[in-house]
Amino acid sequence: MLSEQIIQAIGKHIPTDRILLNESMAAHTTFRVGGPADCLILVENREELENLLSLLRKTESPFFLLGNGSNLLVGDKGYDGIVIKLTGDFQSIRLGEMKASDGNSSLRAGAAVTLAALARKAMELGLTGLEFASGIPGTLGGGLVMNAGAYDGELGEIITYVEVLNESGEVMRLDHDTMEFGYRTSAIKKRPFIALEAEIQLPSGNPKEIQERMEELARKRKEKQPLEYPSAGSTFKRPEGNFAGKLIMDAGLRGFSIGGAQVSEKHCGFVVNKGNATAADIKEVIEEVRERVDTRFGVMLEPEVIMLGKF
Ligand SMILES: Cc1cc2nc3c(=O)[nH]c(=O)nc-3n(C[C@H](O)[C@H](O)[C@H](O)COP(=O)(O)OP(=O)(O)OC[C@H]3O[C@@H](n4cnc5c(N)ncnc54)[C@H](O)[C@@H]3O)c2cc1C
């Protein structure tokens, strides 16, 4: 539990209407489950973020950087710490430093920009290459951490650099190679960096074709994925040379459920909340699936979903 003293100290840097005490995390995750965080703070600019982090580090207060909560399972008993959600300045998109001389342009976007908004903006500007991301329901920050990808595209492929705050509170610019993008991972996943903003480089394209591609991918998603139920997308990483959904299906686990959590009947790679799941139900389904797939095929599936708090 946070002390009154720390809450008061936070109030010196952040207006109190942006300090939400005992905030239910179910409202901030796409699984729609999760108990309360001690406190959720909406941070609007770099100065607020730097002051807040400096205070939290000095007082050794635990904190967690939240994007859109679309790859996150928070325990039913909540999180003993501070959840930071970026907003305000972190939602801006502007033209980057690179100009269109070689047929490429760049966009600079804050970490709290949603991938959907970024893809839409690129389309409006006649820039192609972000269509793959238009249906991923996360922020740029979360996407950089996870190296979010779909339909043969990955965020890492179009990033020129990312500005982060390191653990000493210094701003660092990580170029593409330093970001160490890999399958659903990056330097920010491995180290306690906070993504502030990133520059992406995109070639010119035809807005109408870009829009058509985005619509086509949205149709594919709707057809293949259980978007009608809360989830965190693919629950497991793709094991090498295989597909998590196929292994789960072949293990006879289609529709397998505990409480309100279920292996989707539409796409076995998704664990969904059928309406009244607890985080514990979801976690149990994940563990049971891992065990049964391992027993049957000798493959231990690795969750892609990040877990936080007490279950
Ligand atoms: C229906 C559905 C479909 C999906 N489809 C896809 C898909 O096609 N491809 C795919 O890759 N993913 C997919 N996902 C998963 C998810 O949307 C992505 O992993 C996304 O990148 C997570 O972003 P987020 O902002 O929601 O991050 P969160 O879930 O909030 O956080 C994820 C991680 O990123 C960290 N983080 C967030 N912002 C920052 C920041 N600014 N600085 C440092 N760390 C930060 C968090 O601490 C956490 O560790 C899907 C999810 C759903 C619900």
**pLDDT 10s per residue in the chain (311 long)?**
788 899 999 999 999 999 999 999 999 999 999 999 999 999 999 999 999 999 999 999 999 999 999 999 999 999 999 999 999 999 999 987 665 555 678 999 999 999 999 999 999 999 999 999 999 999 999 999 999 999 999 999 999 999 999 999 999 999 999 999 999 999 999 999 999 999 999 999 999 999 999 999 999 999 999 999 999 999 999 999 999 999 999 999 999 999 999 999 999 999 999 999 999 999 999 999 999 999 999 999 999 999 999 99
Residue 241, both tokens: 């040379």
Distance 133 CA to ligand 1 centre (A): 11
Asked whether this chain's domains 4-86 and 244-308 adopt the same fold, the reply is no
**CA-based nearest residue to 156, from 143, 173, 171, 165:** 143
Residue type, 187: A
150 in ligand 1 pocket by Cβ < 6 Å? yes
Contacts of 65 (CB under 8 A, 6+ apart): 84, 86, 141, 194
In a 13 Å sphere around the CA of 48, the CA atoms on its Cβ side amount to 21
Residue 99, both tokens: 């100009």
Distance 73 CA to ligand 1 centre (A): 11
142 in ligand 1 pocket by Cβ < 6 Å? yes
Residue type, 227: L
Which of 84, 145, 191, 304 is the pocket-test mutation for ligand 1 (most atoms within 8 Å of CB)? 145
Residue 139, both tokens: 């922020």
pLDDT computed for residue 98 by the predictor: 61
pLDDT computed for residue 227 by the predictor: 98
- In angstroms, the Cα distances linking 39 to 129, 173, 191, 308 are 38, 30, 23, 14
Let me know: does 139 contact 113? Beta carbons within 8 Å: yes
> Which residue ranges make up each domain of the chain?
4-86, 92-224, 244-308
233 in ligand 1 pocket by Cβ < 6 Å? yes
Tell me how far apart the alpha carbons of residues 223 and 177 are, in angstroms, rounded to a whole number. Answer: 36
Kindly list the catalytic residues: 184, 234, 304
3-state secondary structure of 202: strand
66 in ligand 1 pocket by Cβ < 6 Å? yes
231 in ligand 1 pocket by Cβ < 6 Å? yes
> Which CATH architecture does the domain made up of 4-86 adopt?
2-Layer Sandwich (3.30)
Q: Which atom of ligand 1 is nearest to the CA of 64?
A: 47
pLDDT computed for residue 256 by the predictor: 98
- Cα-Cα-Cα-Cα dihedral sign, residues 199, 161, 232, 217: positive
Q: Which atom of ligand 1 is nearest to the CA of 112?
A: 41
> Which CATH architecture does the domain made up of 244-308 adopt?
Alpha-Beta Complex (3.90)
pLDDT computed for residue 103 by the predictor: 65
Distance 99 CA to ligand 1 centre (A): 29
Q: Residue 257 gets which letter from DSSP?
A: E
Let me know: does 36 contact 78? Beta carbons within 8 Å: yes
69 in ligand 1 pocket by Cβ < 6 Å? yes
Tell me how far apart the alpha carbons of residues 221 and 232 are, in angstroms, rounded to a whole number. Answer: 14
Let me know: does 200 contact 159? Beta carbons within 8 Å: yes
* CATH class for the domain made up of 92-224: alpha beta
Distance 6 CA to ligand 1 centre (A): 29
